[in-house]
Structure 1
Amino acid sequence: MTESGIPTGPIDREPLVYPAPGSFPSSERKAAILRETFRAAGVELGAYDERIAAWLAETADWSTFAVITSWVRRATQP
């Protein structure tokens, strides 16, 4: 798991853990995590990409967000 709480390997059960026990990140924090994940993966975003990324950060629960973000991270690992 990354310092942001994103799983780094295959996920077998719902990721309910976030580094700050008892709380989950705000949509602003999730957007920052997602931007950093895309940057690290070398993903260039267009305006519509940005719009959908913001939507995901605002609407997805933590578990869904963590799984999708984990896919991006793991897709770029050797």
Structure 2
Amino acid sequence: MTTEPQGFLSNPDQHEQLLAVLADAGVELGDYDHRIIEWLTRSPGYEWSTVATIASWVKRAADHTTA
């Protein structure tokens, strides 16, 4: 395969999406949280499917608490 799979996000995009999901869920982040997000998404970063799964968990948990 020479192209990324459908839904692929680059590491910088994964980073921004994870931050957005956490912000939308009302999660307050400290310095350590930002270090872990950096580790997950940038250095060298996990597969996009791992970050998408984590973001999905946060979104579903937030949706559940507001329902």
Length-normalised TM-score, structure 1: 0.68
| CA–CA separation in structure 2 for the residues paired with 1:39 and 1:48 | 16
* AA in 1 matched with 2:37: A
Aligned twin of 1:73: 59
Q: CA deviation at 1:60?
A: 1.1
Answer with 1 or 2: which has the greater Rg. 2
Q: Report the equivalent of 1:17.
A: 6
Aligned-residue offset at 1:17: 3.4
* 1:63 equivalenced with 2:52 (yes/no): no
Supply the AA of the counterpart residue of 1:44.
E
Structure with more of its chain in helix, by fraction: 2
| CA distance in 2 between partners of 1:28 and 1:62 (Å) | 11
Which stretches of structure 1, 4 residues or longer, exceed 2 Å deviation after superposition?
none
The number of equivalent residue pairs is 58
Partner of 2:19: 35
Q: Which residue of 2 aligns with 1:49?
A: 33
Q: Percent identity?
A: 43
